[in-house]
Structures are given as structure tokens and as C-alpha cells.
Amino acid sequence: TSTLEKLPPVSVHAPEFVRNVIGEIVAGRGDKLPVSQIPVDGTWPSGTSAWEKRNLALEIPVWDAELCIYCGKCPFVCPHSAIRSKVFPEALVKDAPSTFKHVLVKGKEFQKDEHISYQVAPEDCTGCGLCVEICPAVDKKNPSRKALNMAPQPPLREQERENWDFFLTLPEYDREQLRFNTLKGAMIAQPLFEASGACVGCGETPYIRLATQLFGDRMLIANATGCSSIYGGNLPTTPYTTNKEGRGPTWNNSLFEDTAEFGLGFRLSIDRQAATASHLMTGLKNQIGEQLVQDILNADQTTEPGIFRQRERLEEVKKCIKGINSEDARNLESVIDALAKKSVWIFGGDGWAYDIGSSGLDHVIASGRNVNILVMDTEVYSNTGGQMSKSTPMGAIAKFASSGKPIAKKDLAMIAISYGHVYVAQVAFGAKDVRTLKAFQEAESYDGPSLIIAYSPCIAHGIDLSFNLRQQNLAVDSGHWPLFRYDPRLKEQGKNPLQLDSKEPTLPLKDFIKTETRFNMLFRFAPEEAERLLQQAQENAIKRFNYYKQLAAISFSEK
């Protein structure tokens, strides 16, 4: 008697392989697939999570184009890349579905006839509500209304699916024209990590999405085991995808205990290949052209346009050496791509960075090599079920700390800062968005090791993740999670390398702690011990902030 039908495991519009092979595995019928359907060389398509269309959301955000101030905050906080913005010439929307919303975009960086749209993927959205919570544009006549408002998904599904499909047909904006130093500009860039299977409202995934928007077409990622390896490579599907040129992050998973070294290996092999390519190209300069070889060897790749020009030059060389019949030419073909800048990233959680992989991480930052390390810090082993890590804060309950952790968390940032040559940032995207964006850009542009420690609210905290952003603000305002950036380059300019991005704690630590079950459980069964640990943690938070404040106040003007 039911009028409802079970949805197919993947979209009916998905490519054949996704429907016939991946879809069957998603549906739990993988063991019925004939071996002949599986690619003989083991290759597997990427960008496949977006075909799953999980339809988890009971409610989805609905955009009000009239109220919107195009701040870019909604795509910035979305853990599932399910709300996106694009800017396009108005002429391109003449055949748009009648309910597709767009509005003239203001800003000197855009052309006069360009429009902007913030579009939701109704079947990828998980209904976490973070985009609505962050939206600052309120209707003055009706303060309960914003530029984004949640509304039931089922009646909107068909209409918004059509709008989303149309939105995807619109071209991506020219990256050379985007202002990546603003949220509005950076969020127009295409995410190359989408529709992951992370928990609804996960605090980790916005950092990964952001990194792929900024550097995705040249990223190599070494991912430690943990949540990020599960939602990152949740085969048979993967959320990592490519742009229209077919470029996207190269993603690899390794063990807890060797991921930093694994990522360092990427750096070393790329640098070795680049050196070999330079040597071979110099040897063939008479055939390739001396000027072109010099332009490649001296290319400035500190900006994205510089990287794009370098890729064009390398294409020229590839065409030229195709006709050269020599072993050196063939060898050069195999390594020449290493001469275009690559962005090496090492991803993992606190279980990896603070505990099991800590000596490897130390080894890698001490190497001085150009790698970017992103620690998504949930302050507990999340994926394996909530075991204490060295990042677990004092007083929090976790497995192996069932009476509340008696000692303070390790200050990983300070350990890295003590080297002097490591770029270090401690960020929280929901508390300081522009500073988080800046930290990623500074880290990646630094020609040396960079460490970003990113606060990541998690279900293991015993919170409703629709309060993810509130929890980040409480953590920062109470001094639990101070924000700062340490940029060694500033020393060369006679400036203090340490910049504080958060103010002195304005809230008692208790105001943060009482909102999270991981802390307040202890108040229920051992109130005296909980109170003792709270007092100690409160003192530690103030001392730690004062310590950072003193370091940030040191004068570096005299060498």
C-alpha cells in the first residue's frame, strides 16, 4: 500500500560504470558482480560520492537572492560542499529552469553583466543547518528570516535537483580573476572534495574542502588512517574529484605510524624528478630552444597565474620533444610535469599527529622540506570509538580516561614553533573564517614545512553538530582554543613571527565545558574531581594565553 519507492543506490544519470558496478556495490550486491566488470588494471573513477544522492536531509536551505549580501560564508562552513556559488554572464541563464535563482553581483572584480547564484544540492545536503546559522543577512522586517532559511526537502527535491543540474552546467569562473583573499571570491572556486560520507555537520571536512578550492588542481595528499581516510576513500565511492581539465588532488592513504614520512616521500620524489627534468631539458636546449628552457627553469610559480604559464610552457616542450628520437627525450617526457609546482599535503587527526605518528611528524618538520601538514584536531580518536589522545583536554572523559583526563593536552603548536623555521597556525573555521583562509594560503606559500592545527568539532564531543559553529566560538572565547599564526618569514622583515588571532579569554572555561558531554559527564558522577580538574584547566588556559601573548609582544626589530 506504500506510495513510496526505494531510491536507486546512485543517480540514474550517473555514468554507466557508476550505475552498473559502483551502484551495485553501494546496494550491497557487490558479490554478485562478475569479475569481468572490474577494471583489470585496478583503476577506479574519482568524484563518485556525488552520484550517491543520499537524500539525508529532512530540511534544506532555501536561498533568498534579495536578502543575500554575497559574503561567501555559507559555502565556507558547509561540511558537504552542498551549497556553492558561481558567477556567470547573465546571458547564460536564459534557458535556466524557471525557479533557478540568481542576482546581479556587485563588486569591482566582476563584469557589469555578471550574476551570482548560491545553489544547494538538495540530495547531497545533509540538513545540518550550519549555512543558515552562519548567514549574517537578516530580514529587517522579519528578523526570524535570513538570506538562507531551512524548508522541508521532499517538496523541493525535484525542483532543486533540476536547478542544481543546471548550476553544474554553468562554467567555472576564471581563477585568475578571482580574489582569493576574500571569502566571497575564494568560495566561487570549485571544490574538488564533495558529498563526503562524513557525519552530518562534521567539523573536519570544511578544512579539506577549502584546501581543494585553493590548491586542488596541484595537490598530492598523504592521508593518515582515521576519519579523514574513511570519508576520503570510502570505496566504492570517493569524494575527491577533478576539474574540467581533469586535474584534481592525488589522494593516498597510509598507516597511522608513517603518514608524515609517506608525504615527505612525495616531496622528495617530486624534487628529484624536477632536478632530473631540469638536467635533461638543459641537455636538449638546442632542440627545445634556449629561451624556453631558461623561462621554465627561472619561472616564478608563487602565484596561480605563474603556475598556469609554467604548465603552458611545459606543454610546448612536450610537443617539441615528441619528434626527438632519443632516450633523453623519452626520459624527459616521463618527469617533465614535476617542473610545474605541486602542493604536497599531509592530512590526519590528532591520534596520528599527537600520538602514533608524532615522531614521524617531528622528523618531517625538522627536515625543512616544503610540505603542508593539516591536523584536524577532534581532541580524541574519533573513528575508532573515542579513545583518549595526547590532544584530549584535561577533564574530558574518553576511553582510557574514564575518570577524566588528569593532565593537560600537549601543545603541538608550541613544539613546532620552537624550531623557528616551521610555519604554524592554530585555526577554527567557525570562529575566524578569514584568518583560517589566510592561514591556508600562508602555509601553502611558505617554502618550508607548515603545520595547520584545525579545531574540529565532532560527534565524539557529545554535542549536536548543528551547534558546531557555536562550539568553536565558545572554545576560542573561553581560551580553550587560542588562535594564532607563526610565520617565520616575518622575522626577515624585523617583525614578530607570532600573530594572535584571538583575544584574551572573555568567557569562563566552564561556559564552554558545560555544553559538551565529554566534560559534563564527570560533573555527574564525580563532581568534586570534575571541579578540581576544571579549576586546573581554567588556570592552564589563562597561563597558556598569557604565554602566547608575551611571545607575540617580543620586539624583533633589532637583529
- Nearest C-alpha neighbor of 260 from the set 449, 484, 454: 449
Closest to ligand SF4 by CB, 132 vs 284, is: 132
Cβ 201 to ligand SF4 shortest distance, Å = 7
The answer to whether 533 contacts ligand SF4 (rule: CB under 6 A) is: no
Residues contacting 304, CB < 8 A, separation 6+? 175, 176, 180
**Residues in contact with ligand SF4, shown as a per-residue x/- string from 231 to 250 under the rule CB under 6 A:** x-------------------
Quickly tell me which residue has 570505496 as its cell. 235
Task: Quickly list DSSP for 410-461.
Answer: P-HHHHHHTTSSSEEEEE-TTT-HHHHHHHHHHHHHSSS-EEEEEE---GGG
Cβ 347 to ligand SF4 shortest distance, Å = 12
- Total residues at the site for ligand SF4 (CB under 6 A)? 42
**What burial class does residue 327 get, using C-beta atoms within 10 Å of its C-beta: 0-12 exposed, 13-18 middle, 19+ buried?**
exposed
**Residues in contact with ligand SF4, shown as a per-residue x/- string from 213 to 232 under the rule CB under 6 A:** --------------x---x-
Cβ 241 to ligand SF4 shortest distance, Å = 17
Q: What span, in angstroms and rounded, lies between the C-alpha atoms of 552 and 487? A: 12
Residue among 23, 127, 393, 449 that touches ligand SF4 (CB under 6 A) = 127
- φ/ψ of 151, rounded to 5, equals -145, 155
**Residues in contact with ligand SF4, shown as a per-residue x/- string from 453 to 492 under the rule CB under 6 A:** ---x-xxx--------------------------------
Cβ 191 to ligand SF4 shortest distance, Å = 11
Contact present, 133 and 466 (Cβ < 8 Å): yes
Among left, alpha and beta (phi > 0; psi -120 to 50; other), residue 73 is alpha
Closest to ligand SF4 by CB, 63 vs 166, is: 63
Q: What span, in angstroms and rounded, lies between the C-alpha atoms of 110 and 116? A: 10
Residues contacting 197, CB < 8 A, separation 6+? 49, 52, 54, 230, 231, 234, 237, 239
Residue among 80, 409, 480, 518 that touches ligand SF4 (CB under 6 A) = 80
**Beta-bridge partners for 452:** 374, 425
Cβ 124 to ligand SF4 shortest distance, Å = 7
Touching ligand SF4, residues 169-208 (CB under 6 A): 198-199, 202, 204
Q: Is the dihedral of CA 500, 506, 512, 513 positive or negative?
A: positive
- Of 12-20, 60-68, 240-248, 362-370, the segment contacting ligand SF4 by CB under 6 A is 60-68
Residue among 18, 26, 68, 475 that touches ligand SF4 (CB under 6 A) = 68
**Residues in contact with ligand SF4, shown as a per-residue x/- string from 40 to 59 under the rule CB under 6 A:** --------------------
The answer to whether 374 contacts ligand SF4 (rule: CB under 6 A) is: no
Residue among 61, 360, 430, 449 that touches ligand SF4 (CB under 6 A) = 61
- Of 67-75, 304-312, 322-330, 337-345, the segment contacting ligand SF4 by CB under 6 A is 67-75
Cβ 275 to ligand SF4 shortest distance, Å = 39
Contact present, 554 and 420 (Cβ < 8 Å): no
Q: What span, in angstroms and rounded, lies between the C-alpha atoms of 125 and 374? A: 25
The answer to whether 70 contacts ligand SF4 (rule: CB under 6 A) is: yes
- Of 43-51, 79-87, 154-162, 292-300, the segment contacting ligand SF4 by CB under 6 A is 79-87
- Nearest C-alpha neighbor of 7 from the set 18, 20, 23: 23
Q: 401 is written with which cell numbers?
A: 580516561
DSSP type of residue 56: -
Touching ligand SF4, residues 420-459 (CB under 6 A): 456, 458-459
Contact present, 471 and 391 (Cβ < 8 Å): no
Cβ 466 to ligand SF4 shortest distance, Å = 9
Where do contacts with ligand SF4 occur on this chain (CB under 6 A)?
Answer: 61, 63, 68-74, 77-78, 80, 82-83, 118, 120, 125-131, 134-137, 147-148, 198-199, 202, 204, 227, 231, 378, 382-383, 456, 458-460
